[in-house]
Amino acid sequence: MSLIKIDNLKKHYKVLNRREGLGGAFKDLFSGNYRTVKAVDDISLSIDSGEMVAFLGPNGAGKSTAIKMMVGALKPTSGDIIVDGFEPFKDRKDYVQNIGVVLGQRPLLWWDIPVIESFKILKKIYRVNDADYQRNIDLYHSITNLDGILNMPVRNLSLGQRSLCNILAVFLHNPKVIFLDEPTIGLDVAIKLKMRELIKALNKTYNTTVILTSHDVGDVESLCDRISLIDKGHILFDDSIENFHKYFNDKRTIRVKVDADSIDSSSAGEQGLLSSYAKSLESKINQTLRLENGVKTSLSPDGWLDVSFSEDETDVMSVLNCIMAEASVSDVKLNDTNMEELMRRSYESFSPS
């Protein structure tokens, strides 16, 4: 059964079309010209307990508005949100006892007192019993090194240490759902890795549902199994990361190191020989495989031949066999398109041309 159920959710705003100048501002006082901005426009989602979902989209896509409605900070224009049996805005007082929210580097802890004292205050606020509290503190010690941190005032911690403690604080009351908005922004690589490991460990231990919004593709790949892509208030893609790769990664590239001595050619120089071979190889593969869009070959500066093709038309082995039939190959690499490039393609594919 779904922990989060969203049906036909909408959030529309009336925005004044302001006129320029003092005269325009005066006219706006008496004859306002309004337009409707559809920040979130008819989205539906279903998220199960324990899932880690990346809620992604370009700036202005409607992510923040949707998240604010999920946490109960905004009232929807229409549609339904049910999270663990609660309507977030209507049942806000009881609902917030069962969620956690981390907004970037905004502190969840009290600035002038030690971290452990902040944890104790949160224990009282969320009415965590002594046994559960101690079990969580012991778990935190087993997952990450807290020696010397818990008894330090929050103001004396580094940015990475504060971020780490924010994550621990948000899990302290065993919430059913946690919303993480750019949790690793501004952190160095080592701290980012530690943060991701911590979130994964806590998710596994508590079976907590995690909704992540981030522009850091490393966070998405490391933490989430599913992507919901939103733009202009609409859900454009909602599926596994594996299917996201398949959907937007329509090109594969084989890199081959060819022994120049094995190529029968009168071209002068190894570089010229390989460049000439790249062009003839492209023609031969296209003639052999008879592909609609064909393969594209190029010679990279490091002397490798790059052969790009669509997996919808052929497979890796067919292309590789054609290459090896023409010359001696000393090394092969299969390049996968990185997640950052896939995100760029996804945003461009849904944008108006």
314 found inside a domain:
yes
Residue 169 has what pLDDT? Answer: 93
Task: State the pLDDT confidence band at 151, using cuts at 50, 70 and 90.
Answer: very high
Could you report the per-residue pLDDT of 185-204, keeping only the tens digit for each? 878 888 888 888 889 998 99
Same domain, 95 and 223: yes
Residue 319 has what pLDDT? Answer: 85
CA separation for the pair 214, 237 (Å, rounded): 16
Same domain, 114 and 258: no
List, in sequence order, every residue forming a beta bridge with 54; answer none if it has no partner: 212, 227
CA angle 76, 81, 85 (to 5 degrees): 140
Residue 311's closest CA among 326, 330, 332, 289? 289
Same domain, 142 and 185: yes
Q: Which domain holds residue 147?
A: 2-7+43-247
- Residue 304 maps to which CATH number? 3.30.70
List, in sequence order, every residue forming a beta bridge with 14; answer none if it has no partner: 36
Whether the per-residue pLDDT at 298 is higher than 50: the answer is yes
Same domain, 273 and 317: yes
Whether the per-residue pLDDT at 352 is higher than 60: the answer is no
Q: How far is CA 353 from CA 62, 293, 348, in A?
A: 20, 22, 8
Could you report the per-residue pLDDT of 93-113, keeping only the tens digit for each? 899 999 999 887 787 899 999
Could you report the per-residue pLDDT of 319-348, keeping only the tens digit for each? 888 888 877 788 888 776 666 677 776 766
53 C-beta neighbours (distance < 10 Å), count: 21
- Give the count of domains, the chain: 2
- Position of tokens 């009290």? 110
Whether the per-residue pLDDT at 243 is higher than 50: the answer is yes
317 found inside a domain:
yes
CA separation for the pair 325, 315 (Å, rounded): 16
154 found inside a domain:
yes
Same domain, 227 and 271: no
List, in sequence order, every residue forming a beta bridge with 55; answer none if it has no partner: 228
Could you report the per-residue pLDDT of 4-57, keeping only the tens digit for each? 999 999 999 988 888 888 888 777 777 777 888 999 999 999 999 999 999 988
Domain boundary among 247, 271, 293: 247
Residue 353 has what pLDDT? Answer: 44
Residue 268 has what pLDDT? Answer: 42
**Nearest 5°: phi and psi at 293?**
-95, -15
Task: Kindly tell me the burial class for residue 236, based on how many C-beta atoms sit within 10 Å of its own C-beta (0-12, 13-18, 19 or more).
Answer: middle
Same domain, 149 and 260: no
Task: Kindly tell me the burial class for residue 118, based on how many C-beta atoms sit within 10 Å of its own C-beta (0-12, 13-18, 19 or more).
Answer: buried
Same domain, 51 and 196: yes
